[in-house]
Structure 1
Amino acid sequence: MKKVLLFSASVMLLLSSCVSKKQFTDLQAKQKETQDLLNSATVKLNSCLEERASATARLEGLQEQLADLRKTNQDLIDTKGNLTTLTQKGAENLEKSLESLKEKDLKITRLQDALTKKDSVTLALVTSLKREVGINDPDIEVNVEKGVVFISIADKLLFQSGSYNVTSRAKEVLAKVAKVVNSKPDFECMVEGHTDNVPYRKEPLLDNWDLSVKRSTSIIRVLQDLNVNPSQLIAAGRSHYVPLVDNDTAENRAKNRRTRIVVLPKIDQFYDMIEKEMKNLAAGTN
């Protein structure tokens, strides 16, 4: 473009020295017209170059899309073949799953039946204990916790303060407990001793652990004398670490000093009951 301008200027300079003023004016007009055409052509050229670059970019994008579509199409063709195989296997697996669910449902039903039987026995035991021991005494509680029957007896009914020797009144209460336990030979009886948090040390005992366990074994010996099978009895001491209330008053400490007799089915027999139900299920499904 510089060369054209230089050429035009040279021509104009040359002509100005050789031609008339009118001719020079005409040449200037033509030169301007030529320059305008050149500028217009340059603008159009730049526009065409931009359009070409844009078209090239679109073409590359379309080519990528075409490649993706071809790949997707091939994937669909492959998937269709795989789905045919998977559908057949899926139908077989679904049928097996349904059969398995039916078996599991039957097993759950059997287990629920076994648990229902256990709950029925527990309810009968609670009713029997409440009838024998007496539910109107505020110092004796018969309850069920997490499927386990327990009798909580205040220490003032069982022992003198700071002692592990059983009182005569305690023997009357324990005789009623023994009657119920003796009627349930498939159950175990765990005797838990609980104290307050007042430190205890009286020879030969060292602390509240010793006192709680000693009180438990004292109760167990009375139950054994009342013909309770020793194999059903378990001695346990909890010291002062499982209080019912805070040990902040004399009244609360009295509540925490207690003996808890836990009556529960023998675990092995309970599992035997479940195993029996499972064998019945297996025999019914074969």
Structure 2
Amino acid sequence: MNKLFLIIFACFLAASLNSCVVLSTKKFNALVAQRDSLSAGWDQANVKIGSLEEEVQRLKADTSRMNSRIAELESKVSGLDKNYALLRANSSSEINKLSEDLKKREARLKEVEEALRKRDAATNALKEKLQQALLGFKQSGLSVDIRDGKVYVSLTDKLLFSSGSIIIDEKGKQALAELAKVLKTQPDINISVEGHTDNQKVVNLGQIKDNWDLSVLRATSVVRYLTEVQKIENNRITATGKGQYQPIDAANTPEARSHNRRIEIVLSPKLDELYNLIK
């Protein structure tokens, strides 16, 4: 750049000489000073231009990086939009499915509640019928109550048997006959006959060795009377012996032992419909 400037200045000087103009020393020095000033300005301009060119390159590089970053973010946003749309579609489908499942569960719950209501109503009605039918035996130690959705007819041993015997006496047969009349009108009722004893050791009863034997044989005697004499269906009834292990009175007194010696006839509705509902 300096050489070009000098060439131009020389040409200017030559032209001045050719015009036959004689320069004074003062003018010449002024021209030289002007040349130096222009040269310095030119150098400064070149430095500034170089700096600006570097700034332009830096800005271009930054712009390129920013464009790449923008493209990357746009790609991520696009992916997020797709994922959100997919998630929303899946969530909507899942919500609809859960809603349908909830409706089905609510419908089934209503069915179960209705089945339980019917069972409870039938159980209460059965209890009322039995209480009316067996009212005359209440003073002899017979009671009817409901526990856990089942009707319990409890007969003390003195109503059915002589002491240590497994043979049902006449008064006991009368009570069982009245019970059978009600049971014959209730074909959907299952019957379980449970024998219970007190905690006194069995002695001198021949083939009956202990309270287990006594409780089982007494329950079996009742079952036989109900099935063979009163013609209750065999597939509706079972006999079990509980021995002394489920007392209703824990006191060790003659009265408590009398309460514990009993036959309990447990009547429960068939729950096949209810079981099918809750599967």
For Structure 1 versus Structure 2, the TM-score category normalised by the shorter chain is: 0.5 to 0.7
SS at match of 1:198: coil
Name the residue aligned to 1:87. Answer: 88
> Could you say if the C-alpha distance between residues 157 and 136 of structure 1 is closer, same or farther in structure 2, counting changes exceeding 3 Å?
closer
- Contact 2:112–2:274 at 8 Å: present in 1 too? no
The structural deviation recorded for 1:150 is 1.0
State the match for 1:199 in structure 2.
Answer: 201
Q: Is the 8 A contact 1:135 1:141 kept in 2?
A: no
In the TM superposition, what whole-angstrom CA distance separates every residue of 1:24-59 from its partner, at most 9, and x where no partner exists?
A: xxxxxxxxxxxxxxxxxxxxxxxxxxxxxxxxxxxx
1:230 aligns with 2:234: yes
* Contact 1:189/1:261, CA 8 A, preserved across alignment: yes
Whole-Å separation in 1 of the counterparts to 2:127 and 2:189: 13
Unaligned stretches of 5+ in structure 1?
1-72, 279-286
Partner-residue secondary structure (3-state), 2:138: coil
Once the two structures are superposed, residues 124-151 of structure 1 have per-residue CA deviations (whole angstroms, 9 ceiling, x without a partner) of: 2111111101188251111111101110
RMSD after superposition: 2.4
8 A contact 2:127–2:151 mirrored in 1: yes
Residue in 1 aligned with 2:133?
A: 132
Distance across 2 between alignment mates of 1:226 and 1:136: 18
Q: Residue 189 of structure 1 corresponds to which residue in structure 2?
A: 191
* C-alpha separation in 1, matches of 2:166 and 2:91: 70
How do 1:190-269 residues align onto structure 2 when only pairs under 5 Å count?
190-201=192-203, 202-224=205-227, 225-266=229-270
Residue matched to 1:180: 182
Aligned counterpart, 2:40:
none
Please give the TM-score of this superposition, normalised by the length of structure 1: 0.64
Q: Is the 8 A contact 2:129 2:182 kept in 1?
A: yes
Measure how far apart 1:116 and its partner are.
2.0
Identity %: 33
What is the CA distance between 1:80 and its match in structure 2?
A: 6.3
Once the two structures are TM-superposed, the CA of residue 203 in structure 1 deviates from its matched residue by 1.5
CA contact (8 A) 1:160 1:167 kept: yes
Give the deviation of 1:273 after TM superposition: 6.2
Measure, in 2, the Cα distance between the counterparts of 1:90 and 1:230: 57
Could you tell me which residue of structure 2 aligns to residue 98 of structure 1?
Answer: 99
Note closer, same or farther for the CA distance 1:144–1:90 as it changes in structure 2 (3 Å cut): same
Distance 1:109 1:256 in 2: 40
Pairs aligned (count): 201
Give deviations 1:60-98, integer Å, cap 9, x for gaps.
xxxxxxxxxxxxx99x95766643432222122111211
CA distance, structure 1, for counterparts of residue 145 and residue 223 of structure 2: 20
Which residues of 2 match residues 1-286 of structure 1 at below 5 A?
Answer: 82-134=83-135, 137-138=138-139, 139-201=141-203, 202-224=205-227, 225-266=229-270, 270-272=271-273, 275=276
* Partner Cα distance (1:261, 1:238) in 2: 13
